[in-house]
Structure 1
Amino acid sequence: MNAQIMNMALVMGSMQITNRLDLEDTKTKQLILGAYVTAQTIVLGISYIIQRRIQAKKDTTVLKYMEQPKPMSGEEPKLTATTNMAYDLEQNAQAQKQALIGLVVMVFLHFQFGVIRPLVVQSILPVKNALQSKFAQVHLFGKPADGDLKRPWKADNPFAALTGETEQPSEAAEKAAIKKAEKAESKAESKKDL
């Protein structure tokens, strides 16, 4: 099943569950808040385990890729050279940061405005997403980094199926772009030396 469809089904299902709950009851609110805090703890725990496994592997294989600029920045893609370990640690750190930002926002909304319904959804989706992330698949479940799990990991575009876009450039196009960027870099360095 497509991940976006599954996420939508989970959201709709959890909203149906919350419609049946008495959200004015203090015990219900405490249970939902407890489930949310537990889910966030699980997500951060998964992230910590992945970080430890990445560090234990010490994969220093060189990874070169074209880093895409932020949308609408007007910048060109730039060549990035790193190691698998550094790349994986960076991706995991970004996931930790997103989890912490989400936690802070939801706690603020809950305690400032009494928002309770989104806590039910946020008790399910982050755990599912953490377990289905590409770095979790590689480092937690031991799947080989081939095919969809090949580095660099691209973020899934939920609108790609609707717009007909291809999600990833072909491997040959990526290699050609890397070679072109390396040549441009070497020319710039040789001009700098003169």
Structure 2
Amino acid sequence: MNSQIMNMALVMGSMQITNRLDLEDTKTKQLILGAYVTAQALVLGISYLIKRRILAKKDTTVLKYLDQPKPLSGEQPKLITTTVMAYDLEQNAQAQKQALIGLALMVFLHFQFGVIRPLVVQSILPVKNALQSKWAQVHLFGKPAEGELKRPWKADNPFAALAGGQEPQSEAAEKAAIKKAEKAEAKATGKSESKKDL
């Protein structure tokens, strides 16, 4: 099942559960808040465990990829040269940052405005997403970084399937694009160095 469809089903299911709960009852509120805090602690624990596994592997294999610019920015793709370990740590850190931002937002909404309903959904979705993330699949579940799990990891686009999304580049086309970017970068570096010499 598509991850976005599953997320939608979880949201709808949790809304049905929430509708059957007495949200004015103090004990119910405390249980929901406790479940939310536990879920967030679990997400951060998963992230920490992944970080430890990445550091333990110390995979210094060179990774080159094109960082695609934001749509309609008019910028060219930028060549990124890094290591597998640095890339994986960066992806995990970004996920951790998003989790902390989400946590801060929900805590603010709950304590400032008494919002309780979204806490039910946010007790389920972040854990599911953390366990289904590509870095968790590779580092927690030991799946090989091939096919869908091949680096660089593409963000799931919920609208790609509906819009008849772009086909991913073939490996040969991707390598050709990287070589082209390397040549352009070398040419630009050579020009800037020759200007310095003048």
| TM-score, length of structure 2 as denominator length | 0.95
Amino acid at match of 2:138: V
Give structure 1 regions of 4+ aligned residues with deviation exceeding 6 angstroms.
Answer: none
- Equivalent position of 1:87 in the other structure: 87
The answer on 1:122 being equivalent to 2:122 is yes
SS in 2 for 1:163: coil
- Equivalent position of 1:96 in the other structure: 96
Q: C-alpha separation between the residues in 1 aligned to 2:193 and 2:11? A: 58
Superposed CA deviations along residues 77-108 of structure 1, whole A, max 9, x for unmatched, are 10000000000000000000000000000000
SS in 1 for 2:76: coil
- Equivalent position of 2:74 in the other structure: 74
Q: C-alpha separation between the residues in 2 aligned to 1:71 and 1:114? A: 37
Aligned residues: 194
Q: Percent identity?
A: 85
Q: C-alpha separation between the residues in 2 aligned to 1:98 and 1:45? A: 14
Q: Which runs of 5+ in 1 are unaligned?
A: none
Preserved contact between residue 60 and residue 85 of structure 1 (Cα < 8 Å): yes
Preserved contact between residue 4 and residue 158 of structure 1 (Cα < 8 Å): yes
Q: C-alpha separation between the residues in 2 aligned to 1:96 and 1:193? A: 40
- Equivalent position of 2:44 in the other structure: 44
Q: C-alpha separation between the residues in 2 aligned to 1:73 and 1:34? A: 43
SS in 2 for 1:80: strand
Superposed CA deviations along residues 161-185 of structure 1, whole A, max 9, x for unmatched, are 1111125222222111101110011
Preserved contact between residue 67 and residue 80 of structure 1 (Cα < 8 Å): yes
CA RMSD, Structure 1 to Structure 2 (Å): 0.9
Q: Which runs of 5+ in 2 are unaligned?
A: none
SS in 1 for 2:105: helix
Q: C-alpha separation between the residues in 2 aligned to 1:13 and 1:5? A: 12
Amino acid at match of 2:83: T
Amino acid at match of 1:109: L
Displacement of 1:186 in angstroms is: 1.0
SS in 2 for 1:161: coil
Deviates more, 1:64-73 or 1:35-44: 64-73
Q: C-alpha separation between the residues in 2 aligned to 1:26 and 1:131? A: 31
Q: C-alpha separation between the residues in 2 aligned to 1:7 and 1:84? A: 29
Amino acid at match of 1:101: I
Superposed CA deviations along residues 18-74 of structure 1, whole A, max 9, x for unmatched, are 000000001100000000000000000000000000000000000000001123333
SS in 2 for 1:162: coil
- Equivalent position of 1:20 in the other structure: 20
Amino acid at match of 1:59: D
- Equivalent position of 1:61 in the other structure: 61
| TM-score, length of structure 1 as denominator length | 0.97
SS in 2 for 1:164: coil
Displacement of 1:188 in angstroms is: 1.3
- Equivalent position of 2:136 in the other structure: 136
Displacement of 1:193 in angstroms is: 2.7
Displacement of 1:187 in angstroms is: 1.0
